[in-house]
Amino acid sequence: PCRSVLTVACEQTEVLLFDPISSKHIKTLSEAHEDCVNNIRFLDNRLFATCSDDTTIALWDLRKLNTKVCTLHGHTSWVKNIEYDTNTRLLVTSGFDGNVIIWDTNRCTEDGCPHKKFFHTRFLMRMRLTPDCSKMLISTSSGYLLILHDLDLNKSLEIGSYPILRARRTTSSSDITSSGSSGPRAVGSPCHQNDSGPLSEKHMSRSSQREGGSPRNSLEVLTPEVPGERDRGNCITSLQLHPKGWATLLRCSSNTDDQEWTCVYEFQEGAPVRPVSPRCSLRLTHCIEEANVGRGYIKELCFSPDGRMISSPHGFGIRLLGFDAHCSELVDCLPKEASPLKEIRSLYSHNDVVLTTKFSPTHCQIASGCLSGRVSLYQPKF
């Protein structure tokens, strides 16, 4: 968070650490895991977590990198995502076993942390918390986006313990299940679509929620509108949140893997315009088609710290995208209908497909990493 260290997750069990200002290599954790390292998340300025295809999560301390703080066991398949709730100090992980697991880092020992299964869904790809930790978003390879509203991580979601918010499009009854369930559970029903919003409604207004009228962990199931994919399915491979919680950023690929899109969806809060007309929580505002290279690999994109720009892997480089040509705030240039993202600058310095990119949280600096292992750092010239 203080941008003093750049961490890199590698395919072959390694984690690399660099000084992002001098570009000097600090340390290599050569056996951080027993399989590919997928994601790294800092809990504070010294403690960070890594997750791996070896089904484990590891906690590390920058002051003592020769050994792990502890190893966390609980997933049964590749662990792909780590989030951290700074309010409750709970670590949240998700994996290809479909499970979202909560870890109590307050009671961490060398043997691990107390944990519990929080939620389960089939085809889980990515899981994110909004900046204020009031919502959890989950993307799936079957094209669904799940939103848990008024999030309470202390309450596990057993069968029937969360209200289902109606979806506008038909959803598969076998795709979504709660933790501990023994069979599929239907989550939506067909509904006519008569505005630009993709899918679902919220039962109560924000004022009702503040008065305690809305239950916690209300589940909304969306099938986000993706340009060019109206007649065929898509996979939501990458999921990010606007730093101010205004929007979500998705990277989607077609089921045939021959087309990719980057899409921005604005959060729409409040009550439905008319009680009989469901209001969607998300509305597509901007999109752009991506380069169809590196098929089968997930490309992780990101927002800039101020939310005005998007950095997106594009072939052997990255593109810096804005909501308009002047890099305005999203709220200042919301279109009535979905508009193309504007390309601000393209940067190409790799000799292989770029898979990930990240802005420094405090400086005008961007990092990118490609399939062959090269890490590039960019800094604008003024």
Q: Helix, strand or coil for residue 354? A: strand
Report yes or no: 116 and 104 within 8 Å, Cβ to Cβ.
Answer: no
Phi, psi dihedral angles at 252 (to 5 degrees)? -120, 145
Q: What b/e sequence results for 24-44 when a residue is b if at least 16 CB atoms lie within 10 Å of its CB, and e otherwise?
A: eeeeebeebbeebbbbbbbbe
Rounded to 5 degrees, φ, ψ at 241 are -120, 140
| 289 has pLDDT over 70 | yes
Task: Say whether 210 sits in a helix, a strand or coil.
Answer: helix
- Beta-carbon count within 10 A of 162 CB: 19
Position 25 confidence tier, pLDDT thresholds 50, 70, 90: very high
What pLDDT score does 216 carry?
84
Q: Are 215 and 163 in contact (CB under 8 A)?
A: yes
The answer to whether the CB of 143 falls within 8 A of the CB of 223 is yes
Question: What pLDDT, in 10s, does the model give residues 103-125?
Answer: 998 888 777 789 999 999 999 99
d(CA 119, CA 344): 39
CA separation for the pair 188, 305 (Å, rounded): 35
The answer, yes or no, to whether residue 10 has pLDDT greater than 60, is: yes
Average pLDDT for 172-199: 34
| Distance of alpha carbon 227 from alpha carbon 289, whole angstroms | 9
Number of neighbouring beta carbons within 10 Å of residue 235: 20
**Of residues 78 and 275, more confidently modeled:** 78
- pLDDT for residue 358: 95
Q: Where are the alpha helices (DSSP H) in 83-203?
A: none
Q: For 36-64, how does the pLDDT look when each residue is reduced to its tens digit (9 = 90+)?
A: 999 999 999 999 999 999 999 999 999 99
Report the distance separating Cα 310 and Cα 301, nearest Å: 7
Q: What global pTM score does this model have?
A: 0.83
Collapsed DSSP state (helix, strand, coil) of residue 331: helix
**Residues of 7-19 as b/e, b for ≥16 C-beta within 10 angstroms?**
bbbbeebbbbbbe
Strand order in the sheet with 70-73: 37-42, 47-52, 56-61, 70-73
pLDDT band at 175 (very low <50, low <70, confident <90, very high): very low
Average pLDDT for 184-199: 30
CA distance 241 to 245: 6
Tracing tokens 């315009």 back to the chain, one arrives at: 273
- Tens of pLDDT, residues 162-173: 555 545 442 333
pLDDT of residue 173: 33
Say if strands 309-314 and 124-129 run parallel, antiparallel, or are unpaired.
unpaired
**181 pairs with which residues across the strands?**
none
CA distance 251 to 298: 9
Query: What is the tens place of the pLDDT at every residue in 192-241?
Result: 233 333 323 333 333 334 344 457 888 899 888 887 655 555 789 999 99
Q: What's the pLDDT band for 185 if we cut at 50, 70, 90?
A: very low
Share of the chain above pLDDT 70, in %: 80
**Share above pLDDT 90 across residues of the chain, in percent, rounded to a whole number:** 61
pLDDT of residue 158: 59
Q: Which of 3-12, 37-46, 56-65, 254-263 has the lowest mean pLDDT?
A: 254-263
Mean predicted confidence (pLDDT) in 242-256: 90
Mind listing the domains of the chain with CATH numbers?
Answer: 1-164+217-223 (2.130.10.10), 232-381 (2.130.10.10)
Q: Up-side HSE of residue 171: CA atoms within 13 Å toward CB? A: 31
Question: Per residue in 121-133, pLDDT tens?
Answer: 999 999 999 999 9
- Does residue 310 carry a pLDDT above 70? yes
Bigger pLDDT: 227 or 95?
A: 95
Q: What mean pLDDT is reported for the chain?
A: 82
Q: Which residue has the higher pLDDT, 180 or 381?
A: 381
Task: Count CB-CB contacts under 10 A for residue 316.
Answer: 18
> Token pair of 367, please?
């990092």
- Burial environment of residue 362 by CB neighbours within 10 A (0 to 12, 13 to 18, 19 or more): exposed
Tens-digit pLDDT profile for residues 275-285: 444 557 899 99
DSSP H stretches of helix in the chain? 206-210
Q: What mean pLDDT is predicted for residues 357-362? A: 93
- pLDDT score of 197: 32
Q: Work out the average pLDDT over 58-77.
A: 94
| Residue 270 pLDDT level (bands cut at 50, 70, 90) | low
